[in-house]
Chains A and B, each alone.
Chain A
């Protein structure tokens, strides 16, 4: 397998003059993207970044953010994308967890960085995008401005060739109470991108919007598959992104051909996108993945856009297989729960608790094999060993496989039907959330004795978070106080929208909290 930066080098030499990225009237050709990425790489290398180092990104979506991802990879380092809306405390947790060597951020965040890191930052250098006065000198890192980067050489540094090497650490909500880093190799990203380009028939004629957050696992579609195909990506400006009708109109004007989004975004477009009034004649494929899409909503979408192919994708951050299942028109009995096809070198197993295959018609846990597997959770070998295990397939054959936590039914026909989760993990607007992480954050507030967090159905967003809290005797913690407390540790999508106070939590006979009765109350 190639390493990921070779995608950009190859496309730049084949389609150098074609537009790679278009955002807010700024056009970056493939030759320009390649040259800019080289400058970032050379700057990072000059400031001590070496192969295998981690470089975090904490900034709004922008051309500079995407250039920086490629620059980090060309320097032989791994990128660590952090939600730009997350509080600086979460960045600091992540930065220390994987010991970043450098950080790319925006100039208006310099004060936050100084306050959060003080004199004990893991990074030695910070690269700032954006305009404004020079940031005051920091005690423990050197600062570079983007115009200094632009003065670097555009010559490509020698690329690393180890496809098993670390390419990214993607942090996801952790059931242990803190976020955990999923370490991904070049080989895994490359295999996923090649499969995506082939199976969807992506080419340099395609125009793809960049809507998903760079901190999420799905953004690999627009970053890697887009560049491998030589397509043009239109990153959605952060100012526009929250407005469904404005986003839909921009996609119609850009004559978007392939759309890959989470179902909650499709629902937002259906509810508020004014889609019926817009021309989507160039659109040929919509891929929905990341959470369950209700069949009824998909049916509405299919009737609105009858010429578009609709595909349901399934993937995990830990196992980047990206299965694709095309939903057939007319939408009578719409099947949004089938796990579709994947690349030839990835496999799907349905295993019981004994880690042996289940019988036809039975429900088991979905396990995944092949090049799509993560390297492991960063710095957590024991947790990795719980998730990636050696599974015996026959008397003399065994393979490493990754458990997904998803329950599926294996039909006699071979069809795999997604049933639900084996644990408390939920999806909120496409983001994966471990309720235990929010519960831990709530319990760190001095007034909180106990807390349970639940997902309750919401017609606009799919799910909304509700917390049920028991306060310590004599404590006074209002709803807004606790929400503000959560917001200092967690990204906004993990902050409970409603908090209910109770004198005690209902327990089941085994002593665990009875979540079902709380959900139904």
Chain B
């Protein structure tokens, strides 16, 4: 089974904004790498909710939680612990 971080990374790297990015470290700033536009955020939320069977609250869709692969993975674990 893929790790949460691995699955997120794979998803982010196929976004249209990822064209020049070959490698994404867990701590890299997704904003500075230009990965997240408004569509990217919407699709990332939908991907995480579907893949991990969680619900991300509106007030959690904020820059801090989408700063990096690591921050996203923490957000998912928090949501998992709520539902589990």
Contacts and interface: CB of A to CB of B under 8 A. Distances in A.
Given A243-B66, A244-B58, A273-B58, A461 B16 contact: no
Contact of B38 (A242, A245, A273): A242
Nearest to B56: A272
Interface stretch (A29-37, A370-378, A478-486, A510-518): A478-486
Contacts of A141: none
Contacts of B36: 242
A405 B45 CA distance: 36
A487 B62 CA distance: 26
Between B31, B34, B58, B62, the greatest number of chain A beta carbons within 10 A of the residue's beta carbon is seen for B58
Chain A interface size, under 10 / 10 to 19 / 20 to 34 / 35 or more: 20 to 34
Interface string A198-242: 000000000000000000000000000000000000000001111
A85 interface: yes
Interface stretch (A120-128, A143-151, A301-309, A488-496): A488-496
A492 B17 contact: yes
A368 B14 CA distance: 42
Contacts of B14: 480, 483
A246 B63 contact: yes
A460 interface: yes
A268 B42 contact: yes
A245 B36 CA distance: 15
B18 to A, nearest CB: 8
Given A240-B63, A245-B62, A274-B59, A85 B41 contact: no
A492 B63 CA distance: 20
Contacts of B15: 492
Given A242-B38, A429-B38, A483-B14, A488 B19 contact: yes
Contacts of A87: 19
A432 B68 CA distance: 31
A277 B62 CA distance: 15
A492 B37 contact: yes
Interface in B27-63: 31, 34, 36-43, 45-46, 58-59, 61-63
B19 A242 contact: no
Nearest to B34: A85
A25 B31 CA distance: 20
B79 to A, nearest CB: 15
Interface of B: 14-17, 19, 31, 34, 36-43, 45-46, 58-59, 61-63, 66
19 contacts: A85-B17, A241-B37, A241-B38, A242-B36, A242-B66, A243-B61, A243-B66, A272-B42, A272-B45, A272-B58, A273-B58, A274-B58, A461-B39, A461-B42, A487-B17, A488-B19, A492-B15, A492-B16, A492-B17
Given A243-B62, A483-B14, 7 more contacts: A85-B34, A239-B31, A242-B41, A243-B61, A245-B61, A268-B38, A486-B16
